[in-house]
Amino acid sequence: MTLPQCSIPEAPRTMSDTTKIRIAQQMARELEFEVDDADAAVAAIEKAMAADDDLVWIVDAKGNRHGIAVGKLAFVEVESEDNGGGVGFGTG
């Protein structure tokens, strides 16, 4: 069975019409980005883990959205502004 072909005319595109999306597969690599509200980011991750959600979205300080596979988290570290150290928790 062949499906009918349809064509949709494309509008001319400019650079402002595109959005870069980067998708990573399972690998041993850490994500690092700055957020405006670390407590809200940690709360969103904890809530997603408690609800057994597959994905949590975190918005960084630049407005970029990061979709994170909750089941693949190894640890979360939040850097302290006071001393540059970190506070984190593991997923066990």
Q: Is 49 within the bounds of a domain? A: yes
> Between residues 14 and 68, which one has the greater pLDDT?
68
- Average model confidence (pLDDT) for the chain? 79
Question: Above 70 in pLDDT, residue 10?
Answer: no
Q: What percent of the chain has pLDDT over 90?
A: 41
**Structural domain that includes position 66:** 33-90
Quote the pLDDT of residue 2. Answer: 58
41 inside domain: yes
Q: Note whether residue 13 is domain-resident.
A: no
Kindly list the distances between the CA atom of residue 34 and the CA atoms of 31, 37, 38, 62, in Å, as whole numbers in the listed order.
Answer: 10, 9, 8, 8
Say how many domains are in the chain.
1
In a domain, 56, yes or no: yes
* Higher-scoring residue by pLDDT: 22, 60: 60
